[in-house]
Amino acid sequence: MSKTIELSGTKNGVISITKLEKPYGEESAPVASIGISLNGDANEPEWKVHIPLENLQEVIEALTAIK
């Protein structure tokens, strides 16, 4: 599953969200990868964060709280 969202306040920027199954090799656990690209290239974001799926619900709750 992947999703690309327009980045508010930019001309071409995007937020890219995808699930990576083995981001750090065969023994690594899946993560949600969130990238920010100011030039619109979702495949080569300038910034990105990997959130372990085990932490995802708590991160969603924290983001919802600041909304």
Q: What is the pLDDT of residues 26-35, one digit of tens each?
A: 999 999 999 9
Residue keyed to tokens 């909304």: 67
> Beta-carbon neighbour count of residue 45 at 10 Å?
19
The amino acid that residue 58 corresponds to is: E
Residues across the chain? 67
> Are 7 and 38 within 8 A, CB to CB?
yes
- pLDDT one-digit tens code per residue, 48-62: 999 999 999 999 999
- Give ∠ CA 55-13-17 in degrees, rounded to 5: 25
At residue 48, the pLDDT reads: 96
> Are 15 and 2 within 8 A, CB to CB?
no
